[in-house]
Amino acid sequence: MRMLFVGIALAVLTVAIGLAEATTQQTAPAAPAGNAKTGQTLFLKIGCYQCHGNEGQGGAAGPRIGRSPMLAFRNFTAYVRAPRGEMPPYTEKVLAEKDLADIYAYLSSLPPALPVESIPLLK
């Protein structure tokens, strides 16, 4: 009976350690520190606003890329580097990682959109 208890305890401990390691490995790394003001300048200079709007709210040619919900930096970078659809790719030669971090910081700094119910003209 005691051996059964020890065996079960070891099995539970092994599963718990495995889950803890899996959870640790799945957490996305934090975005590198970026400068939101520089990111805003780059966002406008590079022309991102032409499709995505001045504040990443989206437009006729590009989807919303601003806050709520914000993509993880890793996914944001992967898409900018190899987009699907009509967006041109911004490789490392065109847009350095630091510049991308600045643009991400700018988009992350924007306030979330107001709920539709709070806009009087839309009631």
CATH of domain 36-112: 1.10.760.10
pLDDT of residue 4: 45
Contacts of 75 (CB under 8 A, 6+ apart): none
The whole-angstrom separation of Cα 31 and Cα 104 is: 8
Reported as a single tens digit per residue, the pLDDT across 89-123 is 999 999 999 999 999 999 999 988 788 899 888 87
In a 10 Å sphere around its CB, with 0-12 CB exposed, 13-18 middle and 19+ buried, how is residue 91 labelled?
exposed
Per-domain residue ranges for the chain?
Answer: 36-112
Q: Which amino acid would we find at residue 78?
A: A
Q: Which amino acid would we find at residue 50?
A: Q
Distance from chain centroid for Cα 119: 27
Reported as a single tens digit per residue, the pLDDT across 8-67 is 544 444 444 544 454 444 555 677 889 999 999 999 999 999 999 998 888 888 988 887
